[in-house]
Structure formats: structure tokens, C-alpha cells
Structure 1
Amino acid sequence: MIDKDKIIRYYKATEEDILAARLIEIAESVEKNKKYKASFFLSPSEFQIAEVICNASEDLSVVAYGGFENAERNKAVFVHRDFKYQIVMDFVALEINWDKRYYSIAHKDLLGAILAICKREFVGDIVLVETGAQVVVEEKMAEFLLQNLTKVGAAEVSIKKIAVEDLQVKEQKTKVITATVANLRLDAVAAAGYSTSRTQMNEGIKLQQVKLNHKPAKGAAQEVKVGDTISYRGRGRVEVVEIKGITKKGRISIVLHRIL
């Protein structure tokens, strides 16, 4: 039995209590019907809430489904331990195309056009591909998007359904960075990862452009550790892979992976 009140109280401090309550409702329905049920699309930090809820129940497990390999936004599928059958997902894959000779459309442009039509929770990952873009959406919103997404900015676009199996694997480029830092503060490590100054990184943190483990950074002085993920709006993410030790000059040697 999930201690609903305890979990909601815990997330009230971060103003995520409403989301937690919605996810608990889904989990409780699975405890009763002993089958499975999927949430709406969640960011990585939101998915962590689903994992906390799952850990509070002896009968449930939670699986991430986002359509793409290495998807960032996933549905949390709560599954009862007695359910032994196949899980059928209720999302649809769409492909968006435009004349690339005349228009250059970025991820943020596509996201803005889609969110003008439907809520963020109905939309999974958007991936730019050679022919245009692919996106995963809730089944109930697919037809609405097919009928209403006709332009992105000044560019006319065409949109069609494709098989989920035809979604292309998200390409990830990784740059290995070996650096030394004065300390393990977020501003110092992030500055090394993004090849920028600590002053500029501090400004990004103040403007809430920087996240630590998928949540807005609380401050420049937050200490990072191995396994942490830092993201800087529009500049990819940095993973802390190794803290090697102290150099002869008293600095800390670290290894980072920057995902582009």
C-alpha cells in the first residue's frame, strides 16, 4: 500500500506535489486492477517521482517507454507483479517534413509550434532527422496534430503517421573532457564541461539555465559527484564520469563526458 500522504508531503516543498498525486493515482489503480497503466510523458526528473512511488509499493514495478532508443521524455508504465502479458503502448509516431532548401527549422521551433496546439505532457521526444523531424505523441492527440500542424514559423510543413518501428535511433556524440578544477562546486565543474568561465556559468545558474540531475540548480555552490548529470540550456549535457584525485598543484582532476 502506497503511503500517499507521506509522498505528497515530501514533494510539496519542491512544488511537485500535484504531479506526485497524479502519478500516485495511476499507481493505485494498478494495485487494484493488477494489470498496468501508463502515465503521460515525463521529463527525467518527473520520472524519478514515478520511481519513488514504485519503490513505496511491494506490488509494482515501473518501466520507461518513449518510442526512441535513449529517449529523454518517457511514459512511466506502472506494472503489477502478477501481470505476465505484453504491454501495449498508446502513443503514435509522426514525421514532419518541410522544404529544407529554403527553411532551417530548429528543435525549439518545432516544439513551440506543437505546444501551441497541445500540452507538453502529450508530447515525447522530438528528433531532427535527415528528412525532417520525428516526434512521439499521445494517440489521442495525433489526429489533432495531423489536421492542425501546417506551419512552423514561416515554413509550410507536411505531417504523417509512421510506424513506431521506423523511428530513427537518436544520434549522440560524446566528447571526453579531462580537466582540473579548484573544487567540486557546480559552477567550477560545469564551466570545465562547457569550456566557459565560472562567471558566465554563475550567470547561467542565476537565470535558471542550468540543471543538476534534471532539476534546476539550487546554486553555484552545489557539490557534484560521480554519476551526476549537468545540463545547460541549448548546449547539451555533461556527465561526471570520474574524479581521479588531487594533482601536485592541489587541484582536483576529473573526467567528464559532454553529450552533444
Structure 2
Amino acid sequence: MLENVYQHFRKEERPFIDQVTGWIRACEDQYAPYLTNFLDPRQAYIVETIVGKRSEIKLYTFGGYEAAERVRVYICPEYYIPKQDEFDITLCEIRYPLKFAKMSHGKVLGTLLSTGLKREYFGDIISDGEKWQFFVEDSMKSFVLNQVDKIGNVSVRIEEKTYLDMLLPIDSWTVVQETVSSMRLDTVIATLFNISRQRAKQMVESGKIKLNWAEITRPDFELGLLDIVSVRGFGRLQIQEIEGKTKKDKWRIQFGVLHK
């Protein structure tokens, strides 16, 4: 059974696949729901693919708002429909002197991870251009509120907010149709950000690239559906749809691009 599942994904994704099959098995055997930590789009796609058309199991996803990239997945028996508050997500706002300091996604994320918590406990980090908010699992809310009082050299206060207080994020993906000669990481970066393949390769090898929020140093890594790549100094890209190959054997891809 697992071997059939493994063949559809990367070798390095096997530990996560094992986790997912464990969650599903527990749900089927015990008729008990399972709520995951925050998953990135690629992980959520893997869960949805493995659950597939199992009639006795259903999936529900929520990340704090409709367009969330990072979501918690609720795996449950088909007769159960979870309520929104069962996803156990808290919205927090960073209060700081807006006139005298600037925040960035990288600074906020770095500070949150410096508490010792893993990325999976946090959802999206959003901004309207001035104010910043983030989503965190309810179980870690008090810890974060008590631990974070500075971001860089700026004194901050973390406040819990309701969903009525949620900012309207200014980030929005630009949809780009592009053809690439291969799905190699360096090839895709070079094409989307209009730089040389050699420069893209050097950026990957020097640790300036993150794949699904984790550093990657392999230029030849083959990207897949819903992968998100962060390119320091340029922005982010996402593989939104793989449309197939052209007559010249190139990949026709729909990308989402966020320029820095």
C-alpha cells in the first residue's frame, strides 16, 4: 500500500507520508478526528492526495482566513463537520511604534522561531503595509504572548485579536504563464526572475533560497506542484499548475509570483 503511495512523491517526503498514513489509520480505526499542525501548500496537497476518494474519511482545511497559504487540516469521519473554532487558531497583532520602526516578514518569522517553536505552530504572517499580524495554534498562544517583547531592536507587544480585526493583506500573487526547459530549481528561478542560470545556481548553493520555508542548497532539485520558493532579494514563486509539455518538450507552467 505505502509503496504505491511513495511512487507519486519525492523520496524525502516519505517521513511525512508515513505521518499522514498514521493520522488516517487512527481516524479510521478509532472514529476520532485528527487536527494537524499548520501545513504548507505542498504538505496539504500530499494529505489531500493520500486521502483521495476514501468515502469514510473527509478533510477540511482552515488557516485563519479564506486565502491562507498555511492551513491546519482536520481529518475526520465522513459524518462529522468541524466548526471554525475547532481548528484552534489564534490571530495575534504586533504592536510597535509605526513611525519609528519597520517590520518585515523575515524579521517577524525569525523572532517567532527564536522562541524555540517550530514553523508548524505558526500560520501566515500578514501585513497591510504598516501593521503586522500572524496566526498561531491556540496551544502556543500564551507562550508567544509572554516570550516575544522585541523584534530586532524594536520593543513590541503581542496582542490577541478577533477575526473581525484581521488586516487586509497587501500581498497578492501575480499569475504568470511560462515555459521552462526543466523543473530544476535553478532553471525555474532563472526564468521567473530573469537572471542567468549560473547566478541562480550560485544563489541556491550559497543558502539564499528556501523551499517551502526550509533552506535548500541543491540547484538540481526538481520542483513539484504547489511548491513555494523564496528567493532572497527577489521575492517568491509558487508552482500553481503544471499544464503539460510543449511540442519542443518544455514544461508549460502556471506560476504565482510575489516580487519583493
Indicate whether the TM-score tops 0.5.
yes
Residues 111-190 of structure 1: pairs in structure 2 closer than 5 A: 111-117=109-115, 118-175=117-174, 183-184=181-182, 186=184, 187-190=186-189
Query: Does the CA contact (< 8 Å) of 1:35 and 1:82 recur in 2?
Result: no
Query: Does the CA contact (< 8 Å) of 2:72 and 2:87 recur in 1?
Result: no
Query: Does the CA contact (< 8 Å) of 2:57 and 2:77 recur in 1?
Result: yes
Question: Residue 94 of structure 2 aligns to a residue in which SS?
Answer: strand
Work out the number of aligned pairs and report it: 252
Q: Which structure has the greater CA radius of gyration?
A: 1
* Residue in structure 1 matching 2:59, options 41, 62, 67: 62
Distance 1:179 1:30 in 2: 41
AA aligned opposite 1:110: V
- Which residue is equivalent to 2:12? 14
Change (3 A) 1:166 1:79: farther
Distance 1:4 1:185 in 2: 26
- Which residue is equivalent to 1:90? 88
Distance 2:80 2:5 in 1: 25
User: Aligned-pair distance for 1:148?
Assistant: 1.8
TM-score (norm 2): 0.75
Change (3 A) 1:148 1:82: same
- Which residue is equivalent to 2:43? 46
Question: Residue 103 of structure 2 aligns to a residue in which SS?
Answer: coil
AA aligned opposite 1:39: T
AA aligned opposite 2:83: Q
Change (3 A) 1:26 1:220: closer
- Which residue is equivalent to 1:259? 258
> Which consecutive segments of 4 or more residues in structure 1 shift more than 4 A?
3-12, 174-181, 207-219, 227-230, 238-247, 251-257
Change (3 A) 1:170 1:130: closer
User: Aligned-pair distance for 1:179?
Assistant: 6.7
User: Aligned-pair distance for 1:107?
Assistant: 1.2
Query: Does the CA contact (< 8 Å) of 2:127 and 2:170 recur in 1?
Result: no
Alignment of 1:34 onto 2:31: yes
Question: Residue 14 of structure 1 aligns to a residue in which SS?
Answer: helix
User: Aligned-pair distance for 1:66?
Assistant: 0.7
TM-score (norm 1): 0.75
Distance 1:138 1:228 in 2: 23
Per-residue deviation, residues 172-213 of structure 1 (Å, max 9, x unmatched) = 3444657776x3453444312112111111223434655778
* Residue in structure 1 matching 2:99, options 84, 91, 101: 101
AA aligned opposite 1:193: L
Distance 1:253 1:146 in 2: 45
Query: Does the CA contact (< 8 Å) of 2:229 and 2:238 recur in 1?
Result: yes
Change (3 A) 1:185 1:56: closer
User: Aligned-pair distance for 1:138?
Assistant: 0.9
- Structure 1 unaligned spans of 5+: none
Distance 1:35 1:192 in 2: 46
AA aligned opposite 1:86: K
- Which residue is equivalent to 1:236? 236
- Which residue is equivalent to 2:69? 72
Distance 2:143 2:157 in 1: 14
Distance 2:91 2:19 in 1: 25
Change (3 A) 1:7 1:253: closer
Query: Does the CA contact (< 8 Å) of 2:38 and 2:121 recur in 1?
Result: yes
AA aligned opposite 1:104: K
